[in-house]
C-alpha cells in the first residue's frame, strides 16, 4: 500500500512538472478597467450591454470604480455583456498575439483602437471551441494584434457567458502560446490515458464481479474526467463547439452529471443507506436539488442555473464527515475516500478561489500553471485512490466470503448435528408407527379371516338353500307320480278282482250243461253288476297312468342324477340342453303356479366341456331370479323364457343360453352393483346376495361371456355365451 502511495504522488508531481513552462505567463489584469454606463443605472438598455457597442460609446463609458484590479479579474455571473478596457503596452505585432486563457466565454468581441481610431473589430461566438488563430489552433480565444505599431493601443474586450468569467488576458509570442497549447494537449492526453486505464480496469471488475458499485464508479469517473475536459476547453472533442442551445449549456450539464454521479457513487461506496442513513438522506436531498437546477437550465437563466449547480457541489464537503462516520462504524475503505476527497477538495478549493476571486480567510491564489492544473491532478489522485479502495473491496469480499464460508461450514455442521438428532427421533417414531401398524395389520388379518369364514358360511348356506330348493322341487315332482302310481296299483288290484270274478264265472260255464242259458245270463248279470265295461276302461286309464308315472319318475331321477353333480367339481363334456332340462324338471313344479314358462332349446347343440353341477346352479339361479322378478303381476301375465342356440361368429362357435323375463327390470344402479357379494334387492332374510356373485365366478371359470339387457319396466335378458 505504501508503495502505491509513493507511486501516486510521484505521478502527480511528474504530471505537474511536465507542464511547467519555461517562464510563467504574464496576465494583464492590472492594466484592465471595467466599464460601466453612467447614463443607465441598470445595465438593461445600456448601449454597452451589447456586442455592437460602438467605439464612441466605449470611449465615453466610465470606469467602474468598484472593480478590483488583479492579474486575472473576474466578471460577475450574469447574462449581461461585460466590457473592459485594456491598455496594451508596446508590442511587436509581428510576433505576438493576445489570448484570453479561459474556456468560460460564450461570446466575445474585441475592439482595438489606436488614438481614438478604430483599427479592428473581431467577434467570436461559441463556447468550448477549438479556436483558430494564425497557423495553429488552441482551446482559448486568441486575437492577432494590429499590424501597424501603435503607442497607446487600447483593446476593448466585451464578454458574455452563462457562468462567471475569469479574464486571464495575456500577450505572448505565438510560438510560446502554441507550446503551451501543446503542453496542455499533452497533459490531457496523459490525463485521458490514466482515466481510460481506471475506467477499463473498473469496467473489467464490474463485468467480473457484477457489483454495481464499479458501474457507479465508472459513471463517476466519466463525470470527473469530463468536467476537467470541459473546464479546460475540450468540449469541441465531442462536437460542443458552437453557440448552439446545447453547446451553451454543456458545461452546466457536465457539472450536474458529475455532481449526481459523485453523490450516487459515494452513497453506494460508503454504504450510507445502512451505515449512515442521515447522510444518505441528506445526499438524496442534494440529488433532488439537481433536478431543480436542470429545470432552470432548460427553462430559465443559465447564470442562475450555474450558481444553483455550484451550491450542491459545495455541499460535497458533507462527504468527509459521512466517510468519517462510516469509518467509525467499521467501513475500512472509507479512509481511502477521506484521503481522496481531501485531495480533491483542496484542488477544488484552489480552482474555486482562482475562478471566483479571493476568499476572505484563505486569500487569493495566483492564476498560474500550478493552479490551472491543480484540479485535474487532484482528480487523478482522487480517482486512483478510490479505485484502490474499490480494489480493496475485492479483498474485503474475499475476507467476507471466507467468513461466510466458515459460517456456512459451522451452520452445516450444526445442521448435520440437528439432522442426526432428528433422524434418531424419526427412526424411533417410525419404529413406533411400524409396531402400531403391525398390530393393526394383524387385527385386520384376523378380521379378514373371520370375514372369509363368514363368507364361506354364506356361500355354503347359499348352496344349502339351492339344495333345499332342489329337494323340495324333487319331492313335489316325485310325489305326484308316486301318488297316482301306488293308488292306481291298488285300484288295479280291485279291478282285477272284478275281472277275475267274471273269469271264474266264465270258467264255470259248461257248454254241455242244461242250464247254460241261465248260467250265461248270470254271467251277463255279473258283468253288468260289476260294470265291467267301465272297469276295463278304467284299467286302461290306470295302466297308462302307471306307465306315465314310471316315465316321469325315471325322468326326474335322470334330472336328479345330472343335478346332483352340483356340488362336484369334475369337468366333463355335457350338452347344455340336458342341463337346462334337468334344472327345469326341478324348477317346473315350483314355478308352475307362478309363471308361464316357455322353453325353446335348439336341437343341434354341441357338447361343451364344463362343470355341469356348477352350470345347473347358474341356470337355477338365473331362472329363479327371472321368476321372482315377475312377482306382483297375475300369474297369467308372468312369463319366463329359456332358450339355447348355436352361434357361429367367424372361426368361433358359441353355445348361447338366454333367460328372459318380462318382470320389473333393473335400474342402472342395480346393474352396476348386481354382481357384488351381499348385494341384494330382496327383503332381508330372503336372499344372501351371493347368488349372482357366485354365478359370475362360475361363468368366469368357464370363460363364458355374460351380457345383460335390462331396463326398469322392460324386463331383463341374461345372455350367456360359452365358447364351444
Quick one: which segment of 129-137, 240-248, 449-457, 473-481 binds another protein (CB under 8 A)? Answer: 473-481
Q: x/- site string to another protein, residues 140 to 179, per CB under 8 A?
A: ----------------------------------------
SS3 88: strand
Pick from 597, 603, 605, 533: nearest CA to 574: 605
SS3 20: coil
Sequence-ordered alpha helix ranges (H) in 508-646: 516-530, 532-563, 576-592, 612-629
Q: Is 724 in the site for another protein (CB under 8 A)?
A: no
Q: Is 304 in the site for another protein (CB under 8 A)?
A: no
Site for another protein, residues 556 to 595, rule: CB under 8 A: 589, 592-593
Site for another protein, residues 505 to 564, rule: CB under 8 A: 538, 541-542, 545, 548-549
Q: Is 613 in the site for another protein (CB under 8 A)?
A: no
The least distance separating another protein from the CB of residue 506, rounded to whole angstroms, comes to: 22
Quick one: which segment of 89-97, 330-338, 458-466, 489-497 binds another protein (CB under 8 A)? Answer: 489-497
Distance CA 527, CA 447 (A): 82
The least distance separating another protein from the CB of residue 541, rounded to whole angstroms, comes to: 5
The least distance separating another protein from the CB of residue 485, rounded to whole angstroms, comes to: 8
| Cβ nearer to another protein, comparing 167 with 546 | 546
| Cβ nearer to another protein, comparing 271 with 538 | 538
Distance CA 141, CA 136 (A): 12
The least distance separating another protein from the CB of residue 644, rounded to whole angstroms, comes to: 24
The least distance separating another protein from the CB of residue 443, rounded to whole angstroms, comes to: 43
| Cβ nearer to another protein, comparing 382 with 495 | 495
Helix then strand count (H, E) for the chain reads: 17, 20
The least distance separating another protein from the CB of residue 492, rounded to whole angstroms, comes to: 8
SS3 359: strand
Distance CA 186, CA 188 (A): 5
Q: Is 501 in the site for another protein (CB under 8 A)?
A: no
Cell numbers describing residue 534 = 267301465
Neighbours of 489 (CB within 10 A): 13
| Cβ nearer to another protein, comparing 106 with 495 | 495
Phi, psi of 640 (to 5 degrees): -130, 130
| Cβ nearer to another protein, comparing 548 with 578 | 548
Distance CA 580, CA 622 (A): 11
The least distance separating another protein from the CB of residue 688, rounded to whole angstroms, comes to: 21
Helix axes 245-269, 302-314, angle to 10 degrees: 20
Cell numbers describing residue 151 = 503607442
The least distance separating another protein from the CB of residue 581, rounded to whole angstroms, comes to: 20
The least distance separating another protein from the CB of residue 560, rounded to whole angstroms, comes to: 15
Contact indicator for 638, 630 with CB cutoff of 8 Å: yes
Q: Is 479 in the site for another protein (CB under 8 A)?
A: yes
| Cβ nearer to another protein, comparing 122 with 487 | 487
- Interface residue with another protein among 488, 611, 621, 624 (CB under 8 A) is 488
- Interface residue with another protein among 54, 284, 480, 653 (CB under 8 A) is 480
The least distance separating another protein from the CB of residue 493, rounded to whole angstroms, comes to: 10
- By rule CB under 8 A, what count of residues binds another protein? 28
Distance CA 367, CA 370 (A): 8
Phi, psi of 720 (to 5 degrees): -105, 130
Contact indicator for 159, 127 with CB cutoff of 8 Å: no
The least distance separating another protein from the CB of residue 589, rounded to whole angstroms, comes to: 7
Contact indicator for 715, 629 with CB cutoff of 8 Å: yes
Site for another protein, residues 630 to 649, rule: CB under 8 A: 635
Contact indicator for 61, 34 with CB cutoff of 8 Å: no
- Interface residue with another protein among 484, 654, 675, 679 (CB under 8 A) is 484
Distance CA 713, CA 38 (A): 127
- Interface residue with another protein among 475, 500, 513, 536 (CB under 8 A) is 475
| Cβ nearer to another protein, comparing 78 with 538 | 538
Contact indicator for 612, 579 with CB cutoff of 8 Å: yes
Site for another protein, residues 4 to 63, rule: CB under 8 A: none
For cell 451452520, the residue is 411
Quick one: which segment of 70-78, 121-129, 190-198, 478-486 binds another protein (CB under 8 A)? Answer: 478-486
The least distance separating another protein from the CB of residue 551, rounded to whole angstroms, comes to: 11
Q: Is 494 in the site for another protein (CB under 8 A)?
A: yes
Cell numbers describing residue 106 = 460564450
3-state secondary structure 634-703: CHHHCEEEEEEEEEEECCEEEEEEEEEECCCCCCHHHHHHCCCCCCCCCCCCCCCCCHHHHHHHHHHHCC
| E strand or H helix at 417 | helix 369-507
| E strand or H helix at 710 | strand 705-711
Cell numbers describing residue 338 = 477521506
- Interface residue with another protein among 99, 462, 495, 581 (CB under 8 A) is 495
Distance CA 332, CA 352 (A): 31
Q: Is 721 in the site for another protein (CB under 8 A)?
A: no
Q: Is 490 in the site for another protein (CB under 8 A)?
A: yes
The least distance separating another protein from the CB of residue 601, rounded to whole angstroms, comes to: 22
The least distance separating another protein from the CB of residue 575, rounded to whole angstroms, comes to: 29
Q: Is 491 in the site for another protein (CB under 8 A)?
A: yes
- Interface residue with another protein among 30, 412, 486, 571 (CB under 8 A) is 486
For cell 455442521, the residue is 413
Q: Is 64 in the site for another protein (CB under 8 A)?
A: no
Phi, psi of 173 (to 5 degrees): -65, 140
The least distance separating another protein from the CB of residue 670, rounded to whole angstroms, comes to: 27
Q: Is 492 in the site for another protein (CB under 8 A)?
A: yes
- Interface residue with another protein among 107, 396, 487, 653 (CB under 8 A) is 487
| Cβ nearer to another protein, comparing 472 with 509 | 472
Distance CA 127, CA 230 (A): 10
Binding site for another protein (CB under 8 A): 472, 475-477, 479-484, 486-488, 490-492, 494-495, 538, 541-542, 545, 548-549, 589, 592-593, 635
Amino acid at each position: 500500500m505504501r508503495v502505491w502511495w509513493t507511486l501516486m504522488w510521484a505521478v502527480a508531481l511528474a504530471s505537474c512538472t511536465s507542464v511547467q513552462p519555461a517562464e510563467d505567463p504574464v496576465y494583464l489584469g492590472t492594466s484592465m478597467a471595467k466599464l460601466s454606463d453612467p447614463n443607465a443605472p441598470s445595465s438593461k438598455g445600456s448601449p454597452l450591454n451589447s456586442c455592437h457597442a460602438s467605439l464612441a460609446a466605449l470611449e465615453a463609458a466610465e470606469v467602474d470604480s468598484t472593480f478590483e484590479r488583479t492579474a486575472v479579474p473576474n466578471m460577475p455571473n450574469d447574462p449581461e455583456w461585460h466590457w473592459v478596457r485594456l491598455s496594451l503596452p508596446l508590442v511587436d505585432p509581428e510576433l505576438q498575439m493576445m489570448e484570453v486563457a479561459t474556456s468560460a466565454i460564450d461570446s466575445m468581441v474585441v475592439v482595438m483602437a489606436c488614438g481614438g481610431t478604430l483599427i479592428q473589430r473581431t467577434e467570436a461566438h461559441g463556447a468550448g471551441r477549438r479556436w483558430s488563430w494564425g497557423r495553429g489552433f488552441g482551446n482559448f480565444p486568441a486575437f492577432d494584434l494590429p499590424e501597424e505599431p501603435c503607442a497607446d493601443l487600447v483593446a476593448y474586450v466585451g464578454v458574455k457567458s452563462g457562468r462567471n468569467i475569469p479574464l486571464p488576458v495575456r500577450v505572448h509570442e505565438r510560438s510560446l502560446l502554441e507550446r503551451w497549447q501543446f503542453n496542455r494537449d499533452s497533459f490531457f492526453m496523459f490525463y485521458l490515458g490514466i482515466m481510460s486505464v481506471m475506467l477499463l480496469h473498473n469496467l473489467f471488475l464490474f463485468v467480473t464481479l457484477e457489483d454495481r458499485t464499479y458501474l457507479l464508479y465508472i459513471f463517476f469517473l466519466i463525470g470527473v474526467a469530463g468536467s476537467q475536459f470541459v473546464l479546460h476547453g475540450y468540449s469541441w472533442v465531442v462536437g460542443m463547439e458552437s453557440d448552439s442551445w446545447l453547446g451553451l449549456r454543456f458545461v452546466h450539464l457536465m457539472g450536474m452529471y458529475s455532481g449526481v454521479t459523485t453523490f450516487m457513487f459515494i452513497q453506494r461506496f460508503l454504504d450510507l443507506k445502512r451505515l449512515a442513513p442521515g447522510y444518505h438522506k441528506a445526499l438524496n436531498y442534494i440529488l433532488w436539488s439537481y433536478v431543480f437546477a436542470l429545470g432552470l437550465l432548460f427553462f430559465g437563466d443559465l447564470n442562475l442555473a450555474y450558481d444553483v449547480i455550484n451550491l450542491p457541489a459545495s455541499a460535497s464537503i458533507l462527504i468527509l464527515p459521512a466517510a468519517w462516520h462510516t469509518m467509525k462504524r467499521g467501513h475500512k475503505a472509507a479512509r481511502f475516500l477521506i484521503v481522496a476527497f481531501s485531495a480533491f477538495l483542496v484542488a477544488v478549493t484552489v480552482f474555486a478561489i482562482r475562478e471566483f476571486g479571493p476568499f476572505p480567510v484563505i486569500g487569493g491564489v495566483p492564476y498560474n500553471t500550478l493552479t490551472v492544473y491543480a484540479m485535474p491532478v487532484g482528480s487523478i489522485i482522487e480517482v486512483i485512490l478510490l479505485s484502490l479502495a474499490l480494489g480493496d473491496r475485492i479483498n474485503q469480499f474475499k475476507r467476507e466470503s471466507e467468513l461466510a464460508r466458515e459460517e456456512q461450514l459451522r451452520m452445516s455442521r450444526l445442521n448435520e448435528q440437528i439432522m442426526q438428532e432428528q433422524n434418531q427421533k424419526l427412526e424411533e417414531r417410525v419404529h413406533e408407527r411400524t409396531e402400531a401398524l403391525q398390530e393393526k395389520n394383524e387385527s385386520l388379518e384376523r378380521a379378514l379371516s373371520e370375514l372369509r369364514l363368514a363368507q364361506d358360511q354364506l356361500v355354503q348356506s347359499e348352496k344349502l338353500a339351492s339344495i333345499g330348493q332342489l329337494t323340495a322341487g324333487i319331492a313335489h315332482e316325485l310325489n305326484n307320480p308316486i301318488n297316482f302310481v301306488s293308488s292306481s296299483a291298488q285300484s288295479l288290484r280291485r279291478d282285477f278282482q272284478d275281472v277275475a270274478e267274471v273269469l271264474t264265472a266264465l270258467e264255470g260255464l259248461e257248454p254241455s250243461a242244461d242250464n247254460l242259458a241261465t248260467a250265461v245270463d248270470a254271467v251277463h248279470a255279473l258283468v253288468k253288476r260289476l260294470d265291467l265295461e267301465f272297469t276295463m276302461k278304467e284299467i286302461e286309464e290306470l295302466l297308462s297312468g302307471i306307465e306315465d308315472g314310471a316315465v316321469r319318475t325315471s325322468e326326474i331321477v335322470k334330472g336328479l342324477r345330472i343335478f346332483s353333480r352340483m356340488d362336484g367339481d369334475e369337468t366333463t363334456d355335457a350338452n347344455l340342453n340336458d342341463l337346462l332340462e334337468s334344472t327345469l324338471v326341478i324348477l317346473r313344479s315350483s314355478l308352475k303356479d307362478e309363471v308361464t314358462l316357455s322353453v325353446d332349446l335348439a336341437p343341434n347343440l354341441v357338447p361343451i366341456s364344463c362343470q355341469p353341477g356348477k352350470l345347473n346352479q347358474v341356470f337355477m339361479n338365473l331362472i329363479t331370479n327371472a321368476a321372482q322378478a315377475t312377482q306382483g303381476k297375475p300369474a297369467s301375465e308372468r312369463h319366463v323364457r329359456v332358450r339355447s342356440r348355436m352361434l357361429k361368429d367367424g372361426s368361433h362357435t358359441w353355445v348361447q343360453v338366454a333367460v328372459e323375463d318380462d318382470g320389473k327390470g333393473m335400474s342402472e344402479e342395480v346393474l352396476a352393483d348386481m354382481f357384488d357379494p351381499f348385494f341384494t334387492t330382496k327383503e332381508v332374510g330372503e336372499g344372501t346376495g351371493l347368488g349372482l356373485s357366485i354365478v359370475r365366478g362360475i361363468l368366469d371359470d368357464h370363460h363364458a361371456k355374460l351380457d345383460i339387457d335390462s331396463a326398469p319396466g322392460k324386463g331383463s335378458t341374461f345372455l350367456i355365451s360359452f365358447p364351444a
